[in-house]
Amino acid sequence: MKIEHIAMYVNDLEAARDFFLKYLDGTSNDGYHNKNTDFRSYFISFEDGARLELMTKPQIIDAERPLSRAGYAHIAFSVGSKEKVDELTEKLRADGYEVVSGPRTTGDGYYESGIVAIEGNQIEITV
């Protein structure tokens, strides 16, 4: 068994898509639009076969998303080396994204940084 994909609702579908393409080397399908409900989505695919579905529709509720909330905490992306973690973290910081942790080695041995990137959602960059 494997996870087929992970999905997240966003307000700005194009900005979310651009983030994953620009910073995390994703590739996107052409998108889907249900004209009856105005639901729109993109599937972002990554080199290892993982997929992320970005979705939006007019009636989504945009509730506050504190970082320490119950539910999904973050999506982690492995970039292959400590140097690449450092490089991508600094690029994201320079582009105005909030770095909330790291880069650092955690108590359980991960080298990582945490970035608030997509509408209050956290992305973890790790080796």
Answer whether residue 23 shows pLDDT above 90: yes
Confidence band for 15, pLDDT divided at 50, 70 and 90: very high
pLDDT in tens, 37-92: 999 999 999 998 999 999 999 988 877 777 776 777 789 999 999 999 999 999 99
Q: On the CB side of 122, how many CA atoms lie within 13 Å of its CA?
A: 19
Confidence band for 95, pLDDT divided at 50, 70 and 90: very high
- CB atoms < 10 A from the CB of 44, how many? 22
Helix, strand, coil content of the chain in percent (nearest 5): 20, 40, 40
* Average pLDDT score over the chain: 93
**What pTM was computed for the model?**
0.90
